[in-house]
C-alpha cells in the first residue's frame, strides 16, 4: 500500500502514550492501535482532525505517500 501511517513517530516525538491519546481523542485504544500499526484501510476525517488537534500536527505528519504497487481494493 503506498500510504504509510507515521502516527507512532509523531506520538513518540510528543512523548504521548496510546492510552493518553485515546482518552484525549475519544477513540478506543484498539482503533488507535490499528491506525498506529497501519492495519486500516480508511480513516474518518473527524478522527484525523482530532488526532492532529491533540498532537498539534498536520495530516501530512501522520500520512505519507510513497509511489508503489496499487492495491486492488
Asked if the structure places residue 70 within a domain, the reply is: no
- pLDDT, position 72: 53
**For residue 71, what pLDDT is reported?**
56
Residue 66 Cα to chain centre, angstroms: 16
Give, as one character, the DSSP assignment of residue 41.
Answer: S
Q: Within a domain: residue 73?
A: no
Residue 33 DSSP SS3: helix
14 in any annotated domain:
yes
Instruction: Dump pLDDT digits (tens) for 3-17.
Output: 899 999 999 999 999
Residue 68 banded pLDDT, cuts 50, 70, 90: confident
Number of domains composing the chain: 1
**The pLDDT value given to residue 1:** 61
Give 38's DSSP letter: T
pLDDT tens-digit map of 16-30:
999 999 999 999 999
**What's the CATH number where 16 sits?**
1.10.260.40
> Does residue 71 belong to any structural domain of this protein?
no
- Name, in order, each residue with C-beta under 8 angstroms of 60's C-beta and a sequence gap of 6 or more: none
User: In which domain, by residue range, is 60 found?
Assistant: 3-65
Amino acid at each position: 500500500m503506498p500510504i504509510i501511517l507515521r502516527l507512532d513517530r509523531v506520538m513518540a516525538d510528543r512523548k504521548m502514550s496510546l492510552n493518553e491519546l485515546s482518552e484525549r481523542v475519544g477513540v478506543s485504544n484498539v482503533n488507535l492501535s490499528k491506525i498506529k500499526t497501519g492495519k486500516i484501510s480508511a480513516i474518518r476525517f473527524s478522527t484525523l482532525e482530532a488526532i492532529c488537534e491533540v498532537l498539534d500536527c498536520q495530516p501530512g505528519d501522520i500520512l505519507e505517500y510513497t509511489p508503489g504497487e496499487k492495491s486492488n481494493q
